[in-house]
Amino acid sequence: MIHVRKLKKTYSDLQQGEFVALNGIDFDAMPGQIYGLLGPNGAGKTTALRILSTVLKPTSGIATINGYNVVTDPAQVRHQIGFVSTNTAIYDRMTAWEIIRFFGLLYGMSADELQIRMEAIFDRFQMNNIRHVLGSAMSTGMKQKVSIARAIIHDPPVLIFDEATSGLDILVAREVLKTIERLREQGKCILFSSHIMSEVHRLCDQVAILNRGELLAEGTISELSDRYEQPDLEELFFRLIANHEQNREPVNALV
């Protein structure tokens, strides 16, 4: 499970000076649940997921995965998660089999255990035809399959998907979403970030809407619909973002 409390991240930039990418967000994601992070570009979704995957360090606040703190126990956290992102590419000069084997060994799996697990994953994802294909020769869909296979090779309890269907055609995207659903059925805790409403609507049990590093709303889709009296998720999203932007303007004018 994932606990996030008052998570804050600031960057220093030549153009904008110091800016806040995440401004003290809180959320919890439970096993057997897909938790959706929804927000426009620059909302802070990727920053939050990078912190949870221990690639970035938070400026302040607390984030734990299965009880392990991302700042104090990064090594343990990495064993608990599988991370798939648009930024986590696969190696061009390695075959699908080699890539997944490499990461399996890094996770400390024994050769026998790894062989059995890899055979099962290659069968399940129907990847046997690309077993010996180099990353550079794979299509985008194939690459995404390999990425997911790489992320679940060590059977982690928590999976983090950052815009996992971005740039995929509709057939492959559908297949990826089905895979994520299957993983939920296995009791995994899944954090899923996207800006595609239909995907979030279809997959997520809980949703958090982010804008400019702030968490605007959190709950199940039906809860959010009731709370904001807006049955359509897309319309709800637009209203929340628009209201937030409007409220920010007087503050900016004062600053």
Contacting positions for another protein (CB under 8 A)? 3, 5, 12-15, 17-18, 50, 53-57, 60, 62, 64, 66-69, 71-73, 75-76, 78-81, 83, 85, 87-94, 98, 102-103, 105-108, 134, 150, 157
How near is the Cβ of 222 to another protein at its closest, in Å? 30
How near is the Cβ of 33 to another protein at its closest, in Å? 17
Query: Which of 145/241 has CB closer to another protein?
Result: 145
How near is the Cβ of 199 to another protein at its closest, in Å? 22
Tell me the sheet residues that pair with 18: 12
What is the per-residue DSSP string for 143-165?
A: HHHHHHHHHHTT--SEEEEESTT
Distance between CA 129 and CA 179 in Å, rounded? 18
| Six-digit token string for 37 | 């992070």
Distance between CA 119 and CA 234 in Å, rounded? 40
Distance between CA 79 and CA 161 in Å, rounded? 16
- For residue 135, the tally of other CB atoms under 10 A from its CB is 19
Query: Which of 56/216 has CB closer to another protein?
Result: 56
Distance between CA 80 and CA 188 in Å, rounded? 11
Query: Which of 68/237 has CB closer to another protein?
Result: 68
Quick one: DSSP state of residue 157? Answer: S
Query: Which of 7/216 has CB closer to another protein?
Result: 7
Query: Which of 118/207 has CB closer to another protein?
Result: 118
How near is the Cβ of 246 to another protein at its closest, in Å? 27
Query: Which of 141/157 has CB closer to another protein?
Result: 157
How near is the Cβ of 56 to another protein at its closest, in Å? 6
Tell me the sheet residues that pair with 194: 38
| Six-digit token string for 246 | 């409007």
Q: Which amino acid is at 85?
A: S
**Residues 31 and 39: beta-carbon distance below 8 Å:** no
Q: Which amino acid is at 178?
A: K
Query: Which of 94/221 has CB closer to another protein?
Result: 94
How near is the Cβ of 135 to another protein at its closest, in Å? 9
Strands 189-194 and 34-38: parallel
How near is the Cβ of 235 to another protein at its closest, in Å? 33
**Residues 226 and 214: beta-carbon distance below 8 Å:** no
